A and B are shown apart, each in its own frame.
Chain A
Amino acid sequence: MASDLKVVGTTARQGVRDRSRSRTLLRPPSFEMRMMAPALLVLAALSLLPFLTLIYMSFSEVKLLGGLRFEPVGLENWQRLFTDPDVRASWVVSLIYLALTLGLEMLGGVLVALVLYRITRGRGLVFALVLLPMFLAPIIVGLLGRFMTDYTIGLYAWVLRGLGFESDVLGEGTTAMIAVVAMDAWQWTPLVVLITLAGLTAVPPPLFEAAAVDGAGYWQTLRSVVFPTIKGVLLVALLVRAMDAVRFFDIITITTNGGPADATKIIPIRLYETAFRFREIGYASVIGLVMLLFSIILANVFVGVLGRKGLTK
């Protein structure tokens, strides 16, 4: 593989290159529109309709029993959001969970990439093995985590006992949080490794030689040569991970389901239980809309990063 890497924006390519010559040839704009129409119609049905439904539900009380009914309640659900200590607590748990998983995955991913970058023999095999966790269903990752930390028969529980750690990992708030963060990190650190390695291969080797000639040490080379080159790529990695971390909640669902004592009750779990256990669908819609806002802000930053040209060359 050649080692040229680009961080490119699909939105940034405003066709400056081909505007001059191709205008006469390729400019019935309707063709592009016609190509997009079928997918956009389906997408509108699948996204706008649920979105409007969600907004409508947030101003209603939704009754499921005896036929679907919406009873308008005005701003009641919204007012409740701002005075609900439980939801606030869940947001705090969510932000802690996000900070821990993203921090661990970014740091671990970069360190692992730097190590793998040094391998020459057996690189392909090592690399393939490191990628494997990404392809597991999150639900299987959670179940496997439960199996490994099972108090009576778990391999990791046995290792921890050997190290003098006696209690049930998923049975206490702090250790349960550490465990679900570790599971998420186990599954998704490889993604950061993958992206970082792509960035590292883009550093031109002459730069290393120049740094070596200048007598720069390992850390200095990292700081002044490597990091500036891969900065943009790392930002992309962080954003992609952040957007997905907000989306998924399978691992926690199957391991702790938010427990013990709400220690791992991130927002999606709270929303799910509000809607499907307590049947407060109108209120759950408000929680959902706030989540949606959060992810839209993230997506906005992502598109902004893409639109800035010249992240790396």
Chain B
Amino acid sequence: MSETPTTLGGRSPVARVLTWVLVAIILAWTVIPLGWMLLSSVKPESAIKTATPTLVFTPTLENYARLFGAGNDITPFAVNSVIATVTATALALALGTIAGYGLAHWRGRGRKHLAFWIISTRMAPIAAVILPLFIIFRHLGLLDSVAGLILAYLSFSLPFAIWLMSAFFADVPRSIEEAALVSGASRWQAFWHVVLPTVKPGLVTTGVLCAVFSWNDYAFASSFAGPASQTLPMAAGRLITQGGVDWGQLTALGVVVTLPMIVAGLAVRRWLVTGLTLGAVTAE
């Protein structure tokens, strides 16, 4: 962000007060649901099930303890979530980075078609992808396996990684690479030792965004996963039963699922614009 004070909207006291009133409204709209989730997760059940919202109560970690209690321990769900997310992200990042470099510099005919195929794969509606994958996985015995989930997550993470890394590589001046080539490095050495270190922010951003979208997935997991491969978002979906909802446990789980992603997401805040617009907008 630029530090120059803007003159858009003037500096009069009225304008300033109005700005802060609006900021307060915006923050309330954004933060209240999150704050309420956090607050409810440390409430005893008696304080949640009230017609008038309770603000005064004795905080308890009971809801979190029950997430790991007997009968509905979420540890296996968490393990599956971590394995599926980390593996899919690592594969997408490794393959996508190398291919992203290729795409950024390849000038062959059909380049446009190739780029378009990659982006449309990333943008394919999840429901339309689930259907054939379900049939294929069923045929291959990949339903209810973490391997199947990894493949499903790769289907959107890989094109995303190729496309985004190619946008980051395209911004690296060719001259530094040429210097390495002139001094006798091979193309691969120049890529590995000279170009790759300059796109570290791109690697981290791409990795974080792939991980967030995989970690947060519910549609694929609820279609493919079974008893042996359930993930944390599925655990959340399953806490909704006909007999009523244990909101204390659910909000605690919500906090557990959300917190690591917030930490990761804010860590790459500077490059979020680039990442989330697939390199279409860059602001630095």
A119 interface residue, CB < 8 Å from B? yes
Residue contact B19 to A115, C-beta cutoff 8 Å:
yes
Q: Please provide the chain B residues from 245 to 284 with a CB less than 8 Å away from any CB of chain A in the complex.
A: 245, 247, 250-251, 254, 257-258, 261-262, 264-266, 269-270, 272-273, 276-284
Residue contact B136 to A50, C-beta cutoff 8 Å:
yes
Q: Say how far B122's CB is from chain A's closest CB, in angstroms.
A: 8
**Would A123 and B132 be within 8 Å (CB), given that A118-B6, A137-B258, A153-B247 are in contact?**
no
Distance, CA A243 to CA B178, complexed state (A): 38
**Would A10 and B265 be within 8 Å (CB), given that A35-B99, A130-B27 are in contact?**
no
> Per-position contact with A for B151-183: 1 when CB-CB < 8 Å, else 0?
100110011001100110010001001100110
- Enumerate chain B residues within 8 angstroms of A38, measured Cβ to Cβ: 95, 98-99
A100 interface residue, CB < 8 Å from B? no
Q: Please provide the chain B residues from 39 to 62 with a CB less than 8 Å away from any CB of chain A in the complex.
A: 40, 48-53
Which residue of B is nearest A126, CB measured? B23
Q: Say how far B164's CB is from chain A's closest CB, in angstroms.
A: 10
Q: Which of B103, B125, B281 contacts A7 (CB 8 A)?
A: B281
Most buried by A among B9, B15, B163: B9
Residue contact B158 to A43, C-beta cutoff 8 Å:
yes
Residue contact A116 to B99, C-beta cutoff 8 Å:
no
Q: Say how far A253's CB is from chain B's closest CB, in angstroms.
A: 7
B212 interface residue, CB < 8 Å from A? yes
**Would A28 and B254 be within 8 Å (CB), given that A43-B158, A115-B23, A153-B247 are in contact?**
no
Which residue of A is nearest B4, CB measured? A205
**Would A35 and B98 be within 8 Å (CB), given that A136-B216, A254-B237 are in contact?**
yes
A31 interface residue, CB < 8 Å from B? yes
Distance, CA A35 to CA B127, complexed state (A): 31
- Enumerate chain B residues within 8 angstroms of A119, measured Cβ to Cβ: 19, 23
Which residue of B is nearest A137, CB measured? B216
Stretch at the interface among A71-79, A81-89, A170-178, A299-307: A299-307
A42 interface residue, CB < 8 Å from B? yes
Residue contact B273 to A194, C-beta cutoff 8 Å:
yes
B2 interface residue, CB < 8 Å from A? yes
Most buried by B among A36, A150, A199, A218: A36
- Enumerate chain B residues within 8 angstroms of A218, measured Cβ to Cβ: 8-10
Residue contact B104 to A39, C-beta cutoff 8 Å:
no
Residue contact B281 to A1, C-beta cutoff 8 Å:
no
Q: Which of B48, B135, B216, B240 contacts A138 (CB 8 A)?
A: B216
- Enumerate chain B residues within 8 angstroms of A112, measured Cβ to Cβ: 26
- Enumerate chain A residues within 8 angstroms of B174, measured Cβ to Cβ: 17-18, 22, 26
**Would A186 and B98 be within 8 Å (CB), given that A303-B115, A306-B280 are in contact?**
no
Q: Say how far B123's CB is from chain A's closest CB, in angstroms.
A: 5
Residue contact B40 to A47, C-beta cutoff 8 Å:
no
Which residue of A is nearest B262, CB measured? A135
A195 interface residue, CB < 8 Å from B? yes
> Per-position contact with B for A270-313: 1 when CB-CB < 8 Å, else 0?
01100110000100110111011011101110110111000000
A residues contacting the other copy or chain, number (CB 8 A): 137
Q: Say how far B190's CB is from chain A's closest CB, in angstroms.
A: 9
B187 interface residue, CB < 8 Å from A? yes
B198 interface residue, CB < 8 Å from A? no
Residue contact A10 to B266, C-beta cutoff 8 Å:
no
Q: Say how far A254's CB is from chain B's closest CB, in angstroms.
A: 6
- Enumerate chain A residues within 8 angstroms of B242, measured Cβ to Cβ: none
Which residue of A is nearest B217, CB measured? A137
- Enumerate chain A residues within 8 angstroms of B1, measured Cβ to Cβ: 1, 3, 123-124, 127, 197, 201
**Would A198 and B283 be within 8 Å (CB), given that A43-B121, A268-B125 are in contact?**
yes
Residue contact B219 to A284, C-beta cutoff 8 Å:
no
Q: A13-B170, A254-B240 are in contact. List 12 more A-B contacts (CB 8 A).
A: A8-B167, A32-B102, A36-B98, A117-B6, A135-B266, A194-B272, A197-B1, A205-B2, A240-B278, A268-B126, A303-B112, A305-B280
A-B contact pairs, 26 of them (CB 8 A): A8-B170, A10-B167, A13-B170, A26-B187, A28-B187, A36-B99, A36-B102, A42-B158, A50-B136, A118-B6, A136-B254, A139-B236, A144-B33, A147-B36, A147-B250, A191-B276, A195-B281, A201-B1, A209-B7, A236-B277, A240-B278, A247-B123, A247-B126, A268-B128, A292-B125, A300-B120
Interface residues of A (CB under 8 A from B): 1-11, 13-15, 17-18, 21-22, 25-26, 28-29, 31-36, 38-40, 42-43, 46-47, 49-51, 53-54, 57, 62, 64, 68, 112, 114-120, 123-124, 126-140, 143-148, 150, 152-153, 155, 158, 186, 190-191, 194-195, 197-202, 205, 208-209, 212, 218, 221-222, 226, 233, 236-237, 240, 243, 246-250, 253-254, 267-269, 271-272, 275-276, 281, 284-285, 287-289, 291-292, 294-296, 298-300, 302-303, 305-307
Interface residues of B (CB under 8 A from A): 1-10, 15, 19, 22-23, 26-27, 29-34, 36-37, 40, 48-53, 95-96, 98-99, 101-108, 111-112, 114-121, 123-136, 138-139, 151, 154-155, 158-159, 162-163, 166-167, 170, 174, 177-178, 181-182, 187-188, 191, 212, 215-219, 223, 233, 236-237, 240, 245, 247, 250-251, 254, 257-258, 261-262, 264-266, 269-270, 272-273, 276-284
